[in-house]
Amino acid sequence: MTRILFQYAAALVLGCLGLTGCKKLPDGFLSPIIRYEEDPIIIQKGRVKVSSALNYDGSTKPANVKLVHVYNRETGAIVDSLFMKEYTIKGWTGLYDPKTDTTLELIAAKQADMVVTPIRINPVSGQLEANFTTIYLPTGKYEFDLEISNGAGTSLYERIGKFDLVDAKPYEAHPEIGTPYNRMIRVGNESSGTNLFNVNVVIKRIADAPNKVIVKFIDKKGAIFNPKAGEIQRRPNTGNNPTPPYLQTLQDYSLKTELFDDRMEFSYGVVPFPLSSLGNGFNIYYRIPTQYFSHDNQATYPDGSFSANPRFVFRAFVPGSYEILFSFPDVTRK
């Protein structure tokens, strides 16, 4: 019996050699229906986005994924020149630790100039990764081709993925994460006060660099309160011996704080800024002591009896310089 099996196997080998030379079989499997589960992938301009990974449909790993072309979905035009344009940004060369990287110099030591494109495809997972340089691109609906290869071979997957590039503010403020107001608090009694919601807060991203937030408080006539002279102060927390003693300000989140006659400047190192909340969301609190202003409604808020306590909300997602103008419609600087 053994002899018969040996002869049969030998005959198969000889037949294989005679017909094809025993062509090597593919090493694995590459599915024809690899796909993205996100359809389309939504990218907010200027914000970091990482999509879900490709569904490899049982394909053998590891695989290598390469972006081939990007198209405008509405016109069909190839727009590689938009998405493969290179930008120089600050990238990380070391792990950021907010507990120890507490100065601009320490952060700069872990950063270097890096050349990036607005989007890239992770060569292993196939995830679409977008960075803040998408802020420079036009909104629109796009799709793209991928070349995927593994031990089984290489295939081109035409228009395998779609993404929508949508407008988004480079920051969040009102109404997304809170409401600005001026709280009139009775002097000597922090628990007695009234919120006035008629304030006006205007926030603008004014430059790509440096990473800085500029804050100004403006009265009804356009006069600017002087932080350097103590006209803008921290707002005390309520209760006896509260912890912390003051409600959060941008100073608590920033790497460097500078006071000027007409503004406060807060330098930061990373986005989002603030990176995480110290409590009570991303509300930012300040105080104008009673001796520095007069309220229009003297019957309710007589001079010398109330402090003004402006609050705004802010969180930046795109690096750069921002200006925050907080205006009172019913307060006059003395």
- Clarify whether residues 200 and 246 are in a common domain: yes
Sign of CA dihedral 205, 208, 213, 215: negative
DSSP, collapsed to helix, strand or coil, labels residue 20 as coil
- Domain co-membership, 297 together with 197: yes
* Reported confidence tier of residue 241, pLDDT bands at 50, 70, 90: confident
Q: Report yes or no on 222 lying in a domain.
A: yes
In-domain check, residue 1? no
Any bridge partners for residue 233, and if so which? 287
Residues 151, 152, 155: CA angle, nearest 5 degrees: 110
pLDDT tier at 212, thresholds 50, 70, 90: very high
CA distance 261 to 166: 39
> Measured between alpha carbons, how far is 48 from 16 in angstroms, rounded to an integer?
55
Gyration radius (Cα) of the chain, Å: 30
The mean pLDDT value for 73-77 works out to: 97
Residue 41 in domain: yes
Q: Quote the domain boundaries for residue 49.
A: 26-166
pLDDT at position 281, please? 95
| Mean pLDDT of all residues in 287-314 | 98
Judge if 79 and 151 occupy the same domain: yes
Q: Is the pLDDT at 307 greater than 80, yes or no?
A: yes
Rounded CA separation 227/320 (Å): 23
Mean pLDDT of 256-280: 95
21 found inside a domain = no
Q: Does residue 15 form part of some domain?
A: no
Q: What is the pTM of this model?
A: 0.84
Which stretch of DSSP H or E encloses residue 11? helix 2-19
* pLDDT of residue 2 exceeding 90: no
In eight-state DSSP terms, residue 3 is: H
User: Region 266-295: what's the mean pLDDT?
Assistant: 95
Q: Do residues 157 and 277 both lie within one domain?
A: no
- Average pLDDT, rounded, for the chain: 92
Q: What end-to-end distance do the CA atoms of the chain give, in Å?
A: 112
Give the confidence band of 242 by pLDDT, cuts at 50, 70, 90.
Answer: confident
pLDDT higher than 90, residue 243: no
Query: Is residue 129 located within the same domain as residue 213?
Result: no
Cα separation, 118 vs 200, whole angstroms: 34
pLDDT attached to residue 97 = 87
* Whether 202 and 293 share a structural domain: yes
Number of domains in the chain: 2
Give rounded-to-5 percent helix, strand, coil for the chain: 10, 40, 50
Least-confidence region, from 167-171, 243-247, 257-261 = 243-247
Let me know if residue 20 belongs to a domain. Answer: no
Task: Give the SS3 label for residue 18.
Answer: helix
Phi, psi dihedrals of residue 106, rounded to the nearest 5°: -65, -40
Query: Could you report the per-residue pLDDT of 154-205, keeping only the tens digit for each?
Result: 999 999 999 999 999 999 999 999 999 999 999 999 989 999 999 999 999 9
